[in-house]
A and B are shown apart, each in its own frame.
Chain A
């Protein structure tokens, strides 16, 4: 399960030029990068990421560089400031390499919704890399960079990391500042790392984490310290975690591939061998998370994307009057999935339907959060597969939105409840000529990323 031939923070430090030439060789085929930055900044050094090449998802602002969120709507837009996460990368000495492809405005699970063409899965070129951070996951999996940042609103870091056979972390809601991240669903969005090892994900997380006065949802060091005591571990060391809960009722269900359930059994056996106590748990509310997500997220999307109106930045189409300017700009600039979600969000927030959908979803969200908090009183970590299937083929689900949404059933609960979750590679399943990676997802109580790193490292055999 451990990969040895992949780039890490240690092996790739100072090798920005090697990464650039690898991208030049492979990107025509993969389409993982939308742009490699011409401006090479190697001034920062001495920090935890000194000389480490890092790629950014195309929704994080880098002052003076183009940012498009995978959309025609932002064609020609140049960022006027740095995202806080980008600032922290610079301070830690990272070398920013370029921006990676993504589903438009981070909406999708395959990167097929990019306005700049799909990215291919480096493990199987006829397959999708997952999404929406598909370019970032493909870039790390193909060995183009050791670290890429993604953003995760409903699984957009973990699902592509799993499809591409790499490590991906969705931190606790509020762990990392979203200042300068193009917003999708503001009660759900988190930035996080995609890497080849859990140790690297931990290093990047520690660089990025922390209170930022420019994002009022960020958590302070004090909250992290308090929670260490508030949610004590069941056994072993505080960071190690001894009891792992497995909700077989949501794994053994329709829509989850036999190969995925089989792989999960093997992962559980491995966790037992590593000394963890496995506990069967029931999470009856867990399955409602996808419905909650597809109400709250579009509602927030419809509000957040109102800012793209052809007045302040980006595309501007010419209409007969002001309203017509808006209609034509937004009609031409947004792709089909974005428009679908804006329409859906507008519907669930509209008078007459607000109570039936939006309020019910908020109440269900609380119930899901309560269920997880209750469960974490008797287990340290919850383990599930990361995705219900391995990577699907390009075009397979692009005309069926609901089928595409199902790819997120295991990942959305962590966003809905706010919990941190990590995916680690858990082996491969053979389909025809392809060996397709699968992932094990580990979830922990809020702010307990430490437990995820500890279990993840043991699982992958990292020292």
Chain B
């Protein structure tokens, strides 16, 4: 892990970091990764990754796509929490550049 790696990760994670934060995370992430590398030795073959879900009681659940709430029932509450709105929509900066 080096400086370009940290810059790239921060960009992927959409985090603006100060130079001090970058320095700190660079060394801390190396320490943490060194520790968690133990998992390399814990099990052998990982090709067989069928999770034993039958023993976890958690099952996939599907439902019919029915019974919608009334249109607009929650719009006022939800838009009330959005930092920028316009004409009943959430407002963001434009994402396409013509130049």
The chain B residue sitting closest to A368, CB to CB, is B42
> 1/0 per position for A355-379, CB-CB distance to B under 8 A?
1110111111011011001000000
Q: Contacts A291-B38, A336-B21: A323 and B14 contacting too (C-beta < 8 A)? A: yes
Q: Is the CB of A360 within 8 A of B74?
A: no
Q: How many chain B residues touch the partner (CB < 8 A)?
A: 51
- Measured CA separation A336–B21 after assembly (Å): 8
Q: Is the CB of B49 within 8 A of A359?
A: yes
Tell me which residues from 409 to 463 in chain A have a Cβ below 8 Å from any Cβ of chain B.
418, 446-447
Q: Contacts A291-B35, A313-B82, A314-B83: A446 and B9 contacting too (C-beta < 8 A)? A: no
Q: Contacts A346-B9, A359-B46: A295 and B15 contacting too (C-beta < 8 A)? A: no
- Measured CA separation A366–B37 after assembly (Å): 17
- Measured CA separation A312–B92 after assembly (Å): 10
A343: which of B10, B37, B49, B57 is its contact (CB, 8 Å)?
Answer: B10
Q: Is the CB of A223 within 8 A of B17?
A: no
- Measured CA separation A112–B78 after assembly (Å): 31
Q: Is the CB of A343 within 8 A of B42?
A: no
B93: which of A325, A346, A373 is its contact (CB, 8 Å)?
Answer: A325
Q: Contacts A227-B57, A294-B35, A343-B15: A369 and B43 contacting too (C-beta < 8 A)? A: no
Q: Is the CB of B28 within 8 A of A327?
A: no
B77 at the interface (CB under 8 A from A): yes
Tell me which residues from 36 to 52 in chain B have a Cβ below 8 Å from any Cβ of chain A.
36-40, 42-43, 46, 49, 51-52
A33 at the interface (CB under 8 A from B): no
- Measured CA separation A402–B30 after assembly (Å): 11
Q: Is the interface of A mostly helix, strand, loop or mixed?
A: helix
Q: Is the CB of B58 within 8 A of A173?
A: yes
Q: Which residues of A contact B9 (CB under 8 A)?
A: 343, 346-347, 350
A160 at the interface (CB under 8 A from B): no
Q: Is the CB of B15 within 8 A of A174?
A: no
Report the minimum CB–CB distance from A372 to chain B (whole Å): 10
Q: Contacts A322-B93, A367-B43, A370-B52: A344 and B16 contacting too (C-beta < 8 A)? A: no
Q: Is the CB of B36 within 8 A of A295?
A: yes
Q: Is the CB of A357 within 8 A of B36?
A: yes
Q: Which residues of A contact B92 (CB under 8 A)?
A: 311, 322, 325
A340 at the interface (CB under 8 A from B): yes
- Measured CA separation A416–B77 after assembly (Å): 37
Q: Is the CB of A360 within 8 A of B56?
A: no
Q: How many chain A residues touch the partner (CB < 8 A)?
A: 69
Determine which residue in B1, B40, B83 has the highest number of CB atoms from chain A within 10 A of its CB, and name it.
Answer: B83
Q: Which residues of A contact B24 (CB under 8 A)?
A: 336
A364: which of B39, B58, B84, B93 is its contact (CB, 8 Å)?
Answer: B39
Tell me which residues from 241 to 289 in chain A have a Cβ below 8 Å from any Cβ of chain B.
285, 288
- Measured CA separation A429–B78 after assembly (Å): 50
Q: Contacts A346-B9, A360-B42, A364-B39: A77 and B81 contacting too (C-beta < 8 A)? A: yes
- Measured CA separation A217–B60 after assembly (Å): 8
B49: which of A77, A342, A362 is its contact (CB, 8 Å)?
Answer: A362
A292 at the interface (CB under 8 A from B): yes
Q: Contacts A312-B81, A313-B82, A418-B56: A294 and B32 contacting too (C-beta < 8 A)? A: yes
Q: Which residues of B contact A346 (CB under 8 A)?
A: 9, 12-13
Report the minimum CB–CB distance from B80 to chain A (whole Å): 8
Q: Contacts A78-B81, A316-B84: A174 and B58 contacting too (C-beta < 8 A)? A: yes
- Measured CA separation A310–B78 after assembly (Å): 14
Q: Contacts A291-B38, A322-B93: A330 and B14 contacting too (C-beta < 8 A)? A: yes
Listed by A's residue number, 15 A-B pairs whose Cβ atoms lie within 8 Å are A77-B81, A288-B42, A311-B83, A311-B84, A321-B93, A327-B14, A327-B16, A346-B12, A347-B9, A360-B39, A360-B43, A362-B51, A369-B52, A402-B31, A405-B35
Q: Which 9 A-B pairs have the closest CB atoms?
A: A331-B16, A316-B83, A327-B16, A216-B61, A313-B81, A291-B36, A364-B42, A326-B14, A291-B38
- Seen from chain A, the residues whose Cβ lies within 8 Å of a Cβ on chain B are 77-78, 80, 172-174, 213, 216-217, 219, 223, 227, 285, 288, 291-292, 294-295, 302, 306, 309-316, 319, 321-323, 325-328, 330-332, 334, 336, 339-340, 342-344, 346-347, 350, 355-357, 359-364, 366-367, 369-370, 373, 401-402, 405, 418, 446-447
For the A-B complex with A213-B63, A291-B35, A363-B46 known, give 9 more contacts whose Cβ atoms are closer than 8 Å. Answer: A315-B83, A316-B84, A326-B14, A330-B15, A346-B13, A347-B33, A364-B42, A402-B35, A446-B56
